[in-house]
């Protein structure tokens, strides 16, 4: 299993909508643009893709559409997580069947399972299909943190190759790097912490910002990996105002709004996601203009 292919900057893709379904044309155009801009990988049907509001049929279709459009040019890591283990297993098996390169599986949310329950959940998912599994640890959305000791146990499961760490806890990430095998991948789940995670031995980022900044987010990782850390820090620093604006409201509301302002998709979200408050929208527009993405 080649783990190196899952390093770099990977975009947690938004899902463009029409008033009654998936905007396939905009989705394909977005994917093509991402690849030509130099992104290292794509992640359909994550939280940023509004996966909780997709029907099962839509979820499967969006993953399949992404795989077909990408055509093996970059890795596709399909979001297949659920707080229902049987559903996560089904989605993982489907992703493997249609040719995804890996799956991203979030900690079961709302249920707040015990550590044993979390382990058994990921064990069932990882054994259900022959496809690499990247765990997704984001306590702010799930209510359950994967502590380093549990991460070590999970790293021994069949097909589990790494984690998207969005706990925001750098000390925890340092412990995970020290405890887990050297080839266990740590990917940043926070755009603001990309440099910090890379400095701790992380190998990349699954990014929200790269929906609108694919070239620059990829370049931050490229520069860091070439040993040009000061240049990576300067470029990453330039992004901070915009990154902050992209999280001024719950993701993916601001990034999808930004994408719409840039003409990448329609400004359509599904409830409970809704349009931005006017004051926050002005902050976002200012950040986009300052970065040169809007005139």
Active-site position among 27, 144, 153, 164 = 164
Cis status, amide bond into 156, omega within 30 of 0: no
Q: Looking at 27, 136, 144, 256, which residue is catalytic?
A: 136
Contacts of 244 (CB under 8 A, 6+ apart): 192, 287
Burial of 110 (0-12, 13-18, 19+ CB in 10 A): exposed
Rg (C-alpha) for the chain, rounded Å, is 18
Alpha-carbon gap, residue 114 to 71, rounded angstroms: 39
Distance of CA 116 to the CA centre of its chain: 25
Indicate if 136 belongs to the active site.
yes
Per the CB < 8 A criterion, the answer to whether 130 and 159 are in contact is: yes
Q: Is residue 164 flagged as an active site residue?
A: yes
Structure tokens at 140: 């702010």
Return phi, psi of residue 207, to 5°: -110, 145
Phi then psi for residue 8, to 5 deg, are 115, -160
| Coil, strand or helix at 97 | helix
* β-pairing verdict for 17-18 and 77-79: unpaired
**Calpha distance 130→116 (Å, rounded):** 23
Q: Assess contact for 223 and 229: CB atoms under 8 A.
A: yes
- Is there a cis peptide before residue 252, judged by omega within 30 degrees of 0? yes
Which pairing describes strands 77-79 and 41-43: parallel, antiparallel, or unpaired?
unpaired
Residues annotated as catalytic (active site), given as ranges: 136, 164
């Amino acid at each position: 299993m080649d783990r190196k292919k899952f390093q770099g900057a990977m975009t947690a893709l938004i899902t463009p909508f029409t008033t009654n379904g998936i905007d396939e044309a905009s989705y394909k155009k977005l994917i093509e643009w991402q690849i030509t801009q130099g992104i290292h990988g794509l992640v359909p049907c994550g939280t940023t893709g509004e996966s909780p509001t997709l029907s099962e049929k839509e979820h499967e279709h969006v993953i399949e559409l992404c795989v077909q459009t990408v055509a093996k040019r970059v890795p596709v890591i399909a979001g297949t997580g659920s707080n229902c283990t049987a559903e996560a297993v089904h989605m993982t098996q489907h992703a493997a069947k249609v040719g995804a390169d890996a799956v991203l599986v979030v900690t079961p949310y709302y249920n707040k399972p015990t550590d044993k329950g979390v382990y058994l959940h990921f064990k069932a998912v990882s054994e259900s299909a022959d496809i690499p599994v990247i765990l997704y640890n984001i306590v702010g959305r799930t209510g359950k943190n994967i502590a380093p000791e549990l991460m070590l146990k999970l790293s021994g499961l069949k097909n589990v190759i790494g984690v998207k760490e969005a706990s925001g806890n750098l000390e925890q990430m340092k412990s995970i790097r020290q405890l887990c095998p050297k080839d266990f991948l740590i990917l940043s789940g926070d755009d603001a912490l990309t440099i910090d995670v890379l400095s701790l031995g992380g190998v990349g980022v699954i990014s929200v910002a790269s929906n609108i900044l694919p070239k620059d987010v990829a370049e931050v990782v490229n520069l860091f990996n070439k040993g040009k850390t000061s240049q990576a820090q300067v470029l990453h620093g330039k992004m901070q105002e915009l990154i902050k604006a992209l999280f001024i409201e719950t993701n993916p509301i601001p990034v999808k709004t930004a994408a719409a302002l840039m003409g990448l998709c329609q400004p359509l979200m599904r409830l409970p996601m809704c349009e931005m408050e006017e004051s926050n929208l002005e902050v976002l527009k200012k950040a986009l203009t300052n970065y040169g993405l809007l005139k």
